[in-house]
Amino acid sequence: MRRDGFSPLWEKQSRLQTALWCVACALCALLAATVTVNAVFSVCVISGNSMEPTLHDEQRVFLYDSFTPECGDIVVFDCGLGTLIKRVVATEGQTVELRRSGGTLSLFVDGEYVDEPYIYEPMRDYGAADGVLVYPDTEKTVPDGCVFVLGDNRNNSEDSRFEDVGFVPVGNIIGEYAAPVPGGLLGFLCGLIFGGL
């Protein structure tokens, strides 16, 4: 810069070029992040309270798009009732039983009691109602290529216990729950990356 306070034209162009270069780099980085993240993750909005207390109605969550389901995973899948989100409690070849115990039901997989600290409340005995696939005190084996899923809010969940959902083919699984979408500025940026959420 000259002493009289004026900058030569080439200095002004250089600053402008530097600013444009920085903006272009930032846009390229955002585009690369968007493509990369969208190749690995997708976003879904929870509808209903069948996964309380773990997930909540209208909560936005990230899903892994590619994975092999295991017991304990929370998955989003398509079935006759639409698109649902539930927890995998048994995979192909495993046996599932809901044993009666004082008016409630406990989950047993392969004959072993499963401790489930994440459920909303003890599962009530629903008996032998119409549309039931897994009756209390009856053992069922999960077919090849399928999983058995239950909502964490067992008393308010349509899940594999009932014929409308049944055993879920692995090919019907859309993704696995990864994390909640954050709020605030980070949530806003996620909205830009994922197309508005």
| Domain extent listing, the chain | 40-193
The overall average pLDDT reported for the chain is 81
Whether 12 sits among the annotated catalytic residues: the reply is: no
Report the Cα–Cα distance between both ends of the chain, in Å, rounded. 48
Distance CA 100, CA 107 (A): 9
Cβ burial, residue 165 (10 Å; 0-12/13-18/19+): buried
CA distances from 12 to 29, 87, 139 (A): 26, 60, 78
Question: Is 101 assigned a catalytic role?
Answer: no
What is the model's pLDDT at position 100? 87
Q: Which fold has domain 40-193?
A: Umud Fragment, subunit A (2.10.109)
What is the distance between the alpha carbons of residues 106 and 113, in angstroms, rounded to a whole number? 7
Q: 163-187, pLDDT tens digit by residue?
A: 889 999 999 999 898 888 877 666 6
Residue 164: how many other CB atoms lie within 10 Å: 14
- Helix spans in the chain (H): 9-40, 184-193
Backbone φ and ψ of 48, nearest 5°: 105, 175
**What's the pLDDT score for residue 67?**
77
Task: With 0.85 as the threshold, say if the pTM is over it.
Answer: no
Residues 74, 76, 80, 81, CA torsion sign:
positive
Catalytic residue, chosen from 14, 86, 140, 160, is 86
> For 56-78, what is each residue's pLDDT tens digit?
998 888 888 777 899 999 999 99
pLDDT at residue 193, rounded to an integer: 60
Q: Taking a C-beta distance cutoff of 8 angstroms, is the pair 120, 52 a contact? A: yes
- Does 30 have pLDDT greater than 90? no
- Degrees (nearest 5) of the Cα angle 59, 65, 71? 80
Residue 162 pLDDT more than 50?
yes
Please tell me what DSSP assigns to residue 128: S
Considering the candidates 14, 47, 50, 157, report the single residue annotated as catalytic.
50
